[in-house]
Amino acid sequence: MGRKLYIKTFGCQMNEYDSARIVDLLRATYGMETVAEAEQADVLLLNTCSIREKAQEKVFTQLGFWKGLKELRPGVVIGVGGCVASQEGDALRRRAPHVDVVFGPQTLHRLPELLGTALRDRTPAVDTSFPEIEKFDRLPEPRADGVRAFVSAMEGCSKYCSFCVVPYTRGEEFSRPFDDVIAEVAILAEQGVREVILLGQNVNAYRGVRNDGGVADLAELVRYVAEVDGIARIRYTTSHPVEFGDALIRAHVEVPQLAAHLHLPVQSGSDRILALMKRGHTVEDYRARIGRLLDARPDISISSDFIVGFPGETDADFRATMDLIEETGFDQSFSFLYSPRPGTPAALLEDATPQHVREERLQILQRRNEEMAAQISLGMVGTVQRILVEGLSRRNPKQLCGRTENNRVVNFECADRNLVGHILEVEITEAAHFTLRGRLAGGVVAASAVSR
Ligand code: SAH
Ligand code: F3S
């Protein structure tokens, strides 16, 4: 068909992964190539996020812009996927009638048919069902783009935290078969991928069926991914504290490729709020789990997500969150103002806390988190870090750019492009905000086993 595709992605890494797979799929089925500007495209796709109200509203603003494009070129086809599509279904087209195709996170593999209907018959097509198992079986082989790649291990979430839409928009937890995940990693590694980020809304709940009939957990998946030729670094995200057990802690000790970083969202440092959020654990449980990890790997950096201003959050609850932050010394964390989501139990809770108090709390928490992350960056000056080289530095072609295990970008003098995809030892010489500078300190630590 030779049509041109423009895809815009909002939201989490899972959406980024899904968008990459959509590109692979439409290239394989229709020979579509992506273009950098929406104005050049025949097919416009929006992969959406509904985790907070603001994210949801962005979708309709974007669709407003695209309406103008379609008026100029009526042949353009507009598709909306992701969590807003899943939540709204048909209703989305009532609010934005210029949308031709609506697909959910679990039906993106049906896009060729859905788009075919829209392109051929000029009739709209909507499919936001949850035929979980189908999706991965019907996607083509992934095409790598750089040395890092996301690989979905799990879809959906069955935790039903009282504030969260994910279980409704992405469906219940579903683990991809173990051997399929490993095969995808191997395909990516052959194309030069060195760092794999295993994805799931709740990835440490992974229970993948193996070809031999057994069931593997995330720790086992990590160990096997580490055995794939060329894989020099492994991360996984996002984890839930309840599923964070000793098997994973052992993997952090025994698997050298597993980065010394853990993103383990706690949301609040108050037991009362955690119970209202239905997180299924106490603050003490959380402390105990990361305590065990830090006993085994004292160098590990831990980041978290926080929700501020959950209904009924008092000053004392907020102080408890700040206390947990002080005591743990979290690195580069994310924090959000609570946003009531339609259909979630927390949306029914009364909240008497004035908006300005909630916003002040968020500011206090964000400022402290930033200070702590900056302190960690400063503390890295003078140390030698293992950097996975991702490419040339954006500003200076005589420099290479890579990432530390705790996810900081480092630029350092070296014009040897052949080092892209290798892990190097770099001494950190300077820390500015979240970008570090360094100089080569040693040789290559991990060379790629596969020719690139
Ligand atoms: N699976 C992850 C979370 C995925 S959503 C977990 O175990 O927690 C990413 C983050 O968005 C959450 O950690 C939470 O901090 C935030 N979030 C989710 N729903 C929200 C809401 N209704 N309002 C504000 N923040 C929210
Ligand atoms: Fe959402 Fe809680 Fe799952 S935050 S993604 S329901 S673990």
Contact 336 CB / ligand 1 (< 6 Å): yes
pLDDT at 447: 56
Distance in Å, CA 135 to ligand 1 centroid: 24
If one residue of 87, 155, 160 were mutated to test the ligand 2 pocket, choosing by the most ligand atoms within 8 A of its CB, it would be: 160
- What predicted TM-score, i.e. pTM, was given to this entire model? 0.94
Whether 240 and 159 have beta carbons less than 8 Å apart is answered as yes
Contact 170 CB / ligand 1 (< 6 Å): no
Residue whose CA is closest, atom 1 of ligand 2?
A: 164
Nearest ligand 2 atom to alpha carbon 279:
2
pLDDT at 133: 64
Contact 164 CB / ligand 1 (< 6 Å): yes
Nearest ligand 2 atom to alpha carbon 201:
5
pLDDT at 452: 34
Burial of residue 438 (CB within 10 Å: 0-12, 13-18, 19+) is buried
Residues with CB under 6 Å of ligand 2 are 157, 159-161, 164, 166-167, 201-202, 240
SS3 sequence, the chain?
CCCEEEEEECCCHHHHHHHHHHHHHHHHHHCCEECCCHHHCCEEEEEECCCCHHHHHHHHHHHHHHHHHHHHCCCCEEEEEHHHHHHHCHHHHHHCCCCCEEECCCCHHHHHHHHHHHHHHCCCEEECCCCCCHHHHCCCCCCCCCCEEEEECEECCCCCCCCCCHHHHHCCCEECCHHHHHHHHHHHHHCCCCEEEEECCCHHHCEEECCCCCEEEHHHHHHHHHHCCCCCEEEEECCCHHHCCHHHHHHHHHCCCECCEEECCCECCCHHHHHHCCCCCCHHHHHHHHHHHHHHCCCCEEECEEEECCCCCCHHHHHHHHHHHHHHCCCCCEEEECCCCCCCHHHHCCCCCCHHHHHHHHHHHHHHHHHHHHHHHHHHCCCEEEEEEEEECCCCCCEEEEECCCCCEEEEECCCHHHCCCEEEEEEEEEECCEEEEEEEEEEEECCCCCC
Report the DSSP pairing between strands 4-9 and 33-34. parallel
Distance in Å, CA 389 to ligand 1 centroid: 31
Digits of tens for pLDDT over the chain (452 positions)?
579 999 999 999 999 999 999 999 999 999 999 999 999 999 999 999 999 999 989 999 999 999 999 999 999 999 999 999 999 998 999 999 999 999 999 899 999 999 998 888 888 889 988 876 677 777 888 999 899 999 999 999 999 999 999 999 999 999 999 999 999 999 999 999 999 999 999 999 999 999 999 999 999 999 999 999 999 999 999 999 999 999 999 999 999 999 999 999 999 999 999 999 999 999 999 999 999 999 999 999 999 999 999 999 999 999 999 999 999 999 999 999 999 999 999 999 999 899 999 999 999 999 999 999 999 999 999 999 999 999 999 888 899 999 999 999 999 998 788 999 999 999 999 998 778 999 999 767 765 544 33
Nearest ligand 2 atom to alpha carbon 160:
6
Of the bound ligands, which one is closest to the alpha carbon of residue 15? 1
Distance in Å, CA 164 to ligand 1 centroid: 6
pLDDT at 239: 96
